[in-house]
Every structure is written in structure tokens, then in C-alpha cells.
């Protein structure tokens, strides 16, 4: 699902109007109709009162058109126009006149107006500002938004939480609506998925208003949302007459004294994600723990007892994932950097494999094309340098991935996969996955997919989705606090089964 930016969203409206012969007011009527149907499906007539707060532009026009539909169907509806400007859009004025002809005259809220009293259980519709907002609202409007946030009403925002711009972190977060639900018109917004802006939209849903399908199919967006639909399109069903050799030999390199568990989790996840064979390359102290924890995996050891001081010979028969529990001993570092210089096949690099690259940035030139790097935020900062905000972080990650010809993940609530200048935003996962070992599991899943022949970008996107989906399935049994990395592994099978049964 494509994520349109501000310019593309306006262009989608314009082209839809031209190609479908519909005026902007008609498109606004479609949006209002979709908003009304969403609300009507959830609230029977008379169950709750609606308070609709409208701005002076087209977002406010959507609110006025919605108010007309609600009132016309018997809903208790109060309407407020927040008069922050003397300018009104043409479609706002058209819908205000239509509402007044029904005998409904909105109250006007100005700088010194008292905030209206909202009944317990009321639904407040936020239609103050839309995607065109490019600067913070005035101080008195921000104060009004603060009153709305503390009113106790269930807040539904139209298209975007008011006070939020599409392309920047709010300068005045107290002046942004904290929406219980956002009804996004036509496409999702990137701000829903970033830590500094997603906090203003607890839940969201895209409303289809019939935007031109050819435009949406052809427009090149910087970001796409990766959902179950996209995952099903990538999934490769197994052949009846295949065997373990068909699905690749994954080699996992890592581990050090006290951190063999990271390798055990990665190996279990790799096997549970379809790799035909898995070999773990570890220091000698890991032999018994690994073979006891993962009897299906083979083990090879080299070098010192407590850390790796030698890496395996290269070979096209293996797909390698590395870094889990590796440590940063000087002998490990030297062996790793020398080994990396001879690699030609894509690798999955996690944890200390990334930290050693950050400490030795000249080695980034040795990355084979198509490597998949899986940093958490701290590791990402070490690789790219610090950032000023989430949008700056995205730009630094995009530039890093393009410069080093790699697939780069930004792990988080909505992990973003970058490749060749484009970002793919994951839709699965939950807060319970913020637990020790979850990243080791992800590295194992992606390595397994790469071993099975998925290209790097497909392996990363599908692996991130399956990892999150497994967490979503398991958390139904455990709750957020009870979810563990091992629990995620246990649910990988059901996550794959969903794809195969769809």
C-alpha cells in the first residue's frame, strides 16, 4: 500500500477530479460519506452525542459535510467553527451554507471563547486542520486543542490529527490532537509510523473515496506500507518433491562466553523459518549449550574457548547470518574484518557485527552488495551518526543504504526496510516484542529466507513481517509482558501457515 506525501495527496485529488469529472466539492462529499458510514457502523442513532470541531479550510469543510449527514440521519450533533482566520475555502463556505439551510448554525469559537462542555461518552470529531498545515497553529488554538485532549471525549480525527504536519515533528506537541482514531482519507500517512509522531494517533484506518486507480498504481512513492497482502504475494509455497537441500544451508556466526543464547535463538528461528540446514559457528564454550538447546542444528567451533578468533572459509553453499552474541574482543574484530573483505555473497549482519563496522567504518566498503543490516536504534546511531528527529533519522538511513548498496532496517514499532532510496514500513508487531532476544530471532528468520533463495529485499521485508506476525499471534496467549523471544519462535509456524492458507 503506497504512502503518499503531501504533494502526491493533493495531486491525487486533482487528477481524480479531472479524470472522473467531479468537482472538489463532490470529492469532499465522498469523504464525508465515508466518514459517516464508518461512524454509523459503530454508533447507533441516539447512543452518543457528536461534537464536530471544524477549521476554516477543506478539512473543516469535511467536518461540516459530515455534520449535515449525521444530523440528517437523526444523530445528536453540535458543530463548532474555530475562527482562526478570516479566510475560508470555497468548499468550506459551500458546506456551511448547506448546513445552515438545514437550520443548524455552528457556534463560533474565537480566542477568548469558552470551551464547550462535552457530555460523558461524547464523540468529538477533529476537523480543524488537514494535510496542508505547514506551521504550528496559533497559541490560542493550541490551547483549545489541549482542552479537547483533556475533555474525556473519544476523539476521531479526519485525515490527520490537527496540529500535525505531514513532513515534520511538531514544534508544539501540546498543540496536537491526541486522536483515539484517525480516519485517513485515501492513503496512510507516514507520521502514523514514527515514534515522535505516531503517538498522536492511537489507531487509524484508511477510508477509500475512489481516488483514481491509475494514478495510485503509477505514482512512485518514497514509502510503502508492507501488509499481509504484500507478504502473501512474496511467499513461495513448498514443492511436494523437495528435500532439505532445496531450502538452503544457513550458517550462523557468533556467540561468546555468556551470550551463546543469542545464537541458540537465531538457530531455532532459522530452522523454524524453513532453512533446510543450519550450522552454527561458535567458540568452543558454545558447543554443548547450542547442541542441547537446538539439536537440529550442526555446530562448528574454532579459535578460543570463550570468543571467536577465526571465521569459516567462504563458500557459495552457505548463506551467512552473523553478529548475534559475537562480542568485540580484539581478536574477534581482526578475524571478522579480514574475513569480511573476502565475502562476495549477501550477508545478514546483526548486533556486534554492526557495532564492529561502526567502530571500523572503512570496512563498510567491503560489504557485498545486497547485505542486510538489522540494527536497533542504538546500533543505527553508531552506523549513521546522530539525528535531530525521526525525519532526519529516515534521511540518514536512506542515504546510508544507498551509499553502501545494502538493505538497512530501522527496527521499532513499525520496522522500516530501506533499499535503493525506498522505505517499506512494516505493519505487524506489538509492544510485547520489546524483549531480550527478539532481534536475534529476526536475524535468524531473515537468514533462513535468504538461504531459501529469496532476494535480499524480499527476505528482509517478508522476514520482518513474519517476525512481527508471529509476535502478534503469540501475544494473544501471553499478553505483552509475558511475550518472550522463544514465544515468537513458537508462533513462526502459524504465521507461515496464514500465508500458505490465504
Q: Cell numbers of 219, please? A: 505514482
**What is the signed CA dihedral for 273, 410, 434, 442, rounded to 10 degrees?**
10
pLDDT of residue 120: 86
Contact 459, 421 (CB under 8 A): no
Q: List, for residues 162-188, the tens digit of each pLDDT value.
A: 999 999 999 999 999 999 999 999 999
C-alpha cell at 338: 579480514
What is the pairing mode between strands 422-426 and 416-419?
A: antiparallel
Average pLDDT for residues 305-321, to the nearest whole number? 91
User: Which pLDDT score is estimated for 91?
Assistant: 95
First-to-last CA distance in the chain?
18
Task: Using the predicted structure, report yes or no on whether residue 495 has a pLDDT greater than 90.
Answer: yes
- For the record, the C-alpha cell of 287 comes out as 558447543
> Radius of gyration of the chain from Cα atoms?
26
Distance CA 298, CA 161 (A): 52
Question: Average pLDDT in the 469-485 region?
Answer: 98
Is the model's pLDDT at 104 over the cut of 90? yes
- Crossing angle of helices 58-72 and 90-101, in 10° steps, is 20
Q: Supply the mean pLDDT for the chain.
A: 96
Predicted confidence at residue 303, as pLDDT, reads 80
Q: What are φ and ψ of residue 319, in 5° steps?
A: -115, 125
For position 166, what pLDDT does the model report? Answer: 95
Mean pLDDT of 81-95: 93
Question: Which tens digits make up the pLDDT trace of 255-304?
Answer: 999 999 999 999 999 999 999 999 999 999 999 999 999 999 999 998 89
pLDDT confidence of residue 187: 96
| pLDDT surpassing 90 at residue 315 | no
* pLDDT confidence band for 502 (50 / 70 / 90): low
Neighbours of 74 (CB within 10 A): 9
- What is the model's pLDDT at position 313? 87
Please say if the pLDDT value at position 444 is more than 80: yes
Neighbours of 98 (CB within 10 A): 16
Location of C-alpha cell 468550506? 92
Mean pLDDT along residues 397-426: 97
SS3 category, 408: strand
Whether the Cβ atoms of residue 455 and residue 468 lie closer than 8 Å to each other: no
- The single-letter DSSP state of residue 115 is P
* pLDDT tens-digit readout, 353-400: 999 999 999 999 999 999 999 999 999 999 999 999 999 999 999 999
pLDDT tens digits, 197-250: 999 999 999 999 999 999 999 999 999 999 999 999 999 999 999 999 999 999
Q: For the chain, list the domains and their CATH numbers.
A: 2-220 (3.40.50.10260), 231-501 (3.40.1190.20)
SS3 at position 139: helix
Q: What phi-psi label fits residue 405: left (phi over 0), alpha (psi between -120 and 50 degrees) or beta?
A: left
CA distance 156 to 162: 11
3-state DSSP call for residue 319? strand
- For residues 434 and 437, what is the distance between their CA atoms, to the nearest angstrom? 9
C-alpha angle with apex 9: 106 to 67, nearest 5 degrees?
Answer: 20
Sole residue written with cell 490560542? 140
Phi, psi of 55 (to 5 degrees): -85, -165
Give the strands of the sheet with 416-419, arranged side by side: 2-3, 223-226, 422-426, 416-419, 407-410, 372-373, 347-349, 319-322, 249-253, 277-282, 298-301
Does residue 33 surpass a pLDDT of 80?
yes
> How far, in Å, CA of 192 to CA of 182, rounded?
9
Amino acid at each position: 500500500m503506497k504512502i503518499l506525501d503531501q504533494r502526491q495527496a493533493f495531486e491525487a485529488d486533482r487528477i481524480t477530479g479531472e479524470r472522473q469529472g467531479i468537482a472538489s466539492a463532490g470529492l469532499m462529499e465522498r469523504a464525508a460519506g465515508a466518514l459517516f458510514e464508518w461512524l454509523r457502523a459503530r454508533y447507533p442513532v441516539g447512543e452518543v452525542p457528536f461534537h464536530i470541531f471544524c477549521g476554516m479550510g477543506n478539512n473543516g469543510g469535511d467536518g461540516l459535510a459530515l455534520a449535515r449527514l449525521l444530523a440528517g440521519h437523526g444523530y445528536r450533533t453540535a458543530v463548532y467553527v474555530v475562527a482562526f482566520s478570516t479566510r475560508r475555502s470555497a468548499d468550506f463556505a459551500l458546506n456551511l451554507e448547506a448546513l445552515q439551510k438545514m437550520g443548524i448554525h455552528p457556534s463560533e469559537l474565537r480566542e477568548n471563547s469558552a470551551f464547550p462542555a462535552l457530555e460523558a461518552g461524547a464523540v468529538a470529531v477533529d476537523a480543524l486542520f488537514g494535510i496542508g498545515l505547514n506551521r504550528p497553529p496559533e497559541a490560542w488554538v493550541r490551547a483549545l486543542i489541549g482542552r479537547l485532549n483533556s475533555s474525556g471525549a473519544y476523539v476521531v480525527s479526519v485525515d490527520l490529527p490537527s496540529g500535525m504536519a505531514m513532513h515534520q515533528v511538531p514544534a508544539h506537541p501540546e498543540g496536537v490532537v491526541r486522536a483515539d482514531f484517525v480516519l485517513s482519507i485515501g492513503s496512510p500517512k507516514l507520521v502514523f509510523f514514527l515514534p515522535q509522531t505516531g503517538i498522536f494517533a492511537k489507531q487509524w484506518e484508511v477510508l477509500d473515496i475512489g481516488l483514481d486507480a491509475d494514478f495510485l498504481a503509477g505514482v512512485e512513492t518514497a514509502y510503502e506500507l508492507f501488509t499481509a497482502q504484500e507478504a502473501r504475494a512474496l511467499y513461495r509455497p513448498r514443492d511436494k518433491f523437495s528435500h532439505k537441500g532445496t531450502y538452503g544451508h544457513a550458517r550462523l556466526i557468533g556467540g561468546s562466553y555468556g551470550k551463546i543464547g543469542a545464537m541458540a535463538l537465531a538457530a531455532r528461528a532459522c530452522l523454524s523459518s524453513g532453512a533446510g540446514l543450519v550450522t552454527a559457528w561458535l567458540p568452543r564454550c558454545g558447543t554443548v549449550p547450542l547442541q542441547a538447546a537446538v539439536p537440529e542444528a550442526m555446530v562448528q567451533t574454532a579459535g578460543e574457548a570463550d570468543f571467536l578468533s577465526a571465521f569459516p572459509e567462504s563458500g557459495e553453499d552457505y548463506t551467512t547470518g552473523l553478529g548475534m552474541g559475537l562480542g568485540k574482543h580484539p581478536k574477534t574484530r581482526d578475524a571478522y574484518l579480514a574475513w569480511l573483505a573476502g565475502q562476495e555473497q549477501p550477508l545478514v549482519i546483526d548486533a556486534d557485527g554492526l557495532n564492529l563496522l561502526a567502530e571500523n567504518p572503512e570496512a563498510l566498503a567491503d560489504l557485498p552488495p545486497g547485505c542486510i543490516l538489522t540494527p536497533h536504534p542504538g546500533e543505527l546511531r553508531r552506523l549513521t551518526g546522530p539525528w535531530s528527529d525521526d525525519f532526519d533519522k529516515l534521511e540518514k538511513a536512506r542515504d546510508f543504504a544507498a551509499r553502501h548498496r545494502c538493505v538497512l532496517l530501522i527496527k521499532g514499532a513499525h520496522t522500516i526496510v530501506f533499499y535503493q532510496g525506498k522505505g517499506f514500513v512494516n505493519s505487524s508487531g506489538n509492544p510485547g516484542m520489546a524483549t531480550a532476544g527478539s532481534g536475534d530471532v529476526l536475524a535468524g528468520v531473515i537468514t533462513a529466507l535468504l538461504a531459501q533463495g529469496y532476494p535480499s529485499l524480499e527476505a528482509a521485508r517478508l522476514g520482518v513481517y513474519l517476525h512481527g506476525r508471529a509476535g502478534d499471534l503469540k501475544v494473544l496467549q501471553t499478553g505483552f509482558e509475558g511475550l518472550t523471544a522463544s514465544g515468537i519462535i513458537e508462533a513462526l509456524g502459524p504465521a507461515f501457515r496464514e500465508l500458505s492458507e490465504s
